[in-house]
Amino acid sequence: MVKVLLAEDDPTMLALLKTLLTIEGFEAVNILDKPGDLIENIRRENPQAIFLDVNLGNRDGIEIVRQIRAIPDLQSVRVIMTSGMPRAEECLAAGADDFLLKPYMPDDLIARLRR
């Protein structure tokens, strides 16, 4: 089963994502619920993909993806970023594999995860 880490701070969006991904056969884990260092938790979870919001309250998704890409054993993890603002260029330049502009269709997310 493909493990997808969710870095989303909106509780409603998080619940919808977890339900959708579970129905589609993915293992969905909310990485923001884990105590401790976010990057260390990502390493420990060993995901195949991360769904990362650009704006995470007091955390910057752009900086997080840069940190992920700087760690050799995380470079192969697929990172899909999302935002309500058109920040695709910035996300891709920071190391994201893909970008989804909110609101997006669930089928778009699933298709990108299955690539």
Report phi then psi at 57, rounded to 5. 65, -110
52 pLDDT more than 90: yes
Residue 70: predicted pLDDT: 96
Question: From CA 24, how far away is CA 51, in angstroms rounded?
Answer: 15
Question: Nearest 10 degrees: CA dihedral of 45, 19, 94, 66?
Answer: -20
Tens of pLDDT, residue by residue over 90-102, are 999 999 999 999 9
* Cβ–Cβ < 8 Å for 67, 60: no
pLDDT above 90 (res 57): no
Q: How far apart are CA 84 and CA 4, in angstroms?
A: 21
Q: Please tell me the distance from the alpha carbon of residue 74 to that of residue 33, in angstroms, as a whole number.
A: 20
